[in-house]
Amino acid sequence: MSNLILGKSLVVIGSKKDRYKRLLGKLVLDGYDINLILVKNGMAWHYKRYKSSQDKKDQFLYSNAEKYAEVNKLGLWSKNSPISPWQWRENNK
């Protein structure tokens, strides 16, 4: 991933914010959805809590990308029982 984006300018597409006022958006470089690439390679989760902020096409693509990574045991899915960050925080309050 660093070879793809290092030293380049990315575009952030999004205007909605989460409850902590963080921007919900996707990173795009030369027409490539960097967030989608991360999810498909098992390097990020599809955070479904905010999927309503995505258009229907992106919801479909991200969901399928996560399934692809899981089925192929890529990245975080290479572990037997990966725990999402939100599950971990809930379990460790």
Per residue in 33-51, pLDDT tens? 999 999 999 999 998 887 7
Mean of pLDDT over the chain: 91
Are the C-beta atoms of residues 2 and 10 closer than 8 Å to each other? no
Structure tokens at 42: 């098992």
| Predicted TM-score of the model (pTM) | 0.86
Q: In what helix (H) or strand (E) does residue 40 lie, and over which residues does it extend?
A: helix 34-40
What is the radius of gyration, based on Cα positions, of the chain? Answer: 14
- The CATH number assigned to the domain with range 2-91 reads 2.40.50.90
Summarize pLDDT for 5-31 with one digit per residue, the tens. 899 999 999 888 888 898 888 999 999
